Structure 1
Amino acid sequence: MGKSSVGFEIHAQLSAVGVRHCLIEGDNLDMAYPSPWEHSLAERNLAAMWANYRALGYRRLIYTNTVSVRQVDVLTAAMGDDPRVTAVLLTADDGTARQRLAQREIGTALDRHIERSDLAARQLEQLSPDWVHRVPTDGRSVAGIAARAIELAGWTAES
């Protein structure tokens, strides 16, 4: 289970109770080779997609991306408005993270993915602002984690 699974579950839970929202998978906004980072492609694509959703009346956005909790200012500036942001960092202990990677990765790349995952987890924990909500995922269901994120955002059928 990871950020995409939780994002899709948030979408399912909000849809089930009639809360208007949209979901953008941030990892897909600049997935290209060679990497277009220097052109701010993710921000440009987010701006374009959000403008389209806003034009249709959407005001709630579920945005999933690995390092977005460290780039909130850049991402909200790209959106062109002044959104209220509830940032959530999903956490797991080393054993849980390794187990999940082993289920997802096969072949010789597993060790490299574990090493990168360990480093990324440490950096995210250390460099994410204090106001970012840390939600442990160890031993929890995707539905429970999604429900917690919805609760943190204050998104109910009435809000």
Structure 2
Amino acid sequence: MGKTSVGAEIHEQLSAAGIQHCLIEGDNLDQAYPPPWEHGLAERNLTAMWSNYRELGYRRLIYTNTVSVRFTGRLTAAMGDDPSVTAVLLTADDDTARERLAKREIGTGLDRHVERSGLMARELERTVPSRVHRVRTDGREVPDIAAEVIALTGWIWLRP
């Protein structure tokens, strides 16, 4: 379980509560090789997608991405409507991360992903501002983690 699983569960819980929202998996906005980061492709795609959702009346967005908490300013600027942001960093110890990656990664990529995961976790802990909520995921079930994140947003008390 990780950000994608938690995002999907947040979607399920908000849907069950009748809370209007949308879900965008940010990792898919610029997943290409060679990496197109220097072109701002993720932001451009988010601009287009959010514009479509906003046109249909959506005002709540669940956005999952590995490092988005480092770039909330750029991402919210891409949305173009000065959104209120509740930034959340899901955390796990190295053993938990390795166990989860081993379920997802197959073949020769596992060791590379485990190494990158550890480096990124330490980088995020060092560089992400304290205003970003940290939610531990070790030894917890996805529904409980999702409920904690929803509570941080305050959306469950609001209606569409």
Tell me the TM-score normalized by structure 1: 0.96
Report the counterpart of residue 111 of structure 1 in structure 2: 111
Report the counterpart of residue 92 of structure 1 in structure 2: 92
- Whether 2:128 is the aligned partner of 1:128: answer yes
- Alpha-carbon distance between aligned partners in 1 of 2:7 and 2:125, rounded to the nearest angstrom: 20
Q: Aligned AA for 2:42?
A: A
Aligned residue pair count: 159
- Alpha-carbon distance between aligned partners in 2 of 1:45 and 1:154, rounded to the nearest angstrom: 27
Report the counterpart of residue 56 of structure 2 in structure 1: 56
Report the counterpart of residue 158 of structure 1 in structure 2: 158
Q: Secondary structure at the match of 2:18?
A: coil
Report the counterpart of residue 74 of structure 2 in structure 1: 74
Report the counterpart of residue 15 of structure 2 in structure 1: 15
Q: Secondary structure at the match of 2:10?
A: helix
Q: Aligned AA for 1:69?
A: V
- Alpha-carbon distance between aligned partners in 2 of 1:158 and 1:60, rounded to the nearest angstrom: 11
- Alpha-carbon distance between aligned partners in 2 of 1:33 and 1:72, rounded to the nearest angstrom: 24
Deviation at 1:4, TM superposition (A): 0.4
- Whether 2:35 is the aligned partner of 1:35: answer yes
- Give CA deviations for 1:113-153 in whole Å, capped at 9, x if unaligned: 11111001000111111100000000110000000000000
Tell me the TM-score normalized by structure 2: 0.96
Q: Secondary structure at the match of 2:45?
A: helix
- Alpha-carbon distance between aligned partners in 2 of 1:158 and 1:83, rounded to the nearest angstrom: 16
Q: Aligned AA for 1:148?
A: E
In structure 1, the gaps of 5 or more residues are none
Percent of pairs with identical residues: 74
For the aligned residue pairs, the C-alpha RMSD in angstroms reads 1.0
Deviation at 1:157, TM superposition (A): 5.2
